[in-house]
Amino acid sequence: MTMDDLYQLILERKNNPKPGSYTNSLLDEGLPRMAQKVGEEGVEVAVAALAQEDARLVGEIADLAYHTLVLMAARGVTPQQVLDELASRHRS
């Protein structure tokens, strides 16, 4: 699965809610909760990078990526916009 595939799945859940979906529960709780989860996962990535094995770090990065994509979908920000921003930083 690519990041874009995951983003599209999140959009599908946003547009067609599925009962019991964790993604839908995050979307229903609103931006403050999504932002909180991104912050929590960011801290967990930092801790894992300093004190845990690579497998744990990979898992925490996956959690951060997922929660970030949910927040992006809620705000209407696309992965392409992020990629374009990153590309623009290397044009100078």
Domain limits, the chain: 3-88
Whether 26 and 37 have beta carbons less than 8 Å apart is answered as yes
- Each residue's pLDDT tens digit, 14-45: 999 999 999 999 999 999 999 999 999 999 99
Would you place residue 92 in the very low, low, confident or very high pLDDT band (cuts 50, 70, 90)? Answer: low
The domain defined by 3-88 folds into Helix Hairpins (1.10.287)
Q: Is 0.85 surpassed by the pTM of this model? A: yes
CA distance 53 to 51: 7
In 3D space, the residue among 16, 26, 28, 30 whose CA is nearest the CA of residue 66 turns out to be 26
Whether 64 and 45 have beta carbons less than 8 Å apart is answered as yes
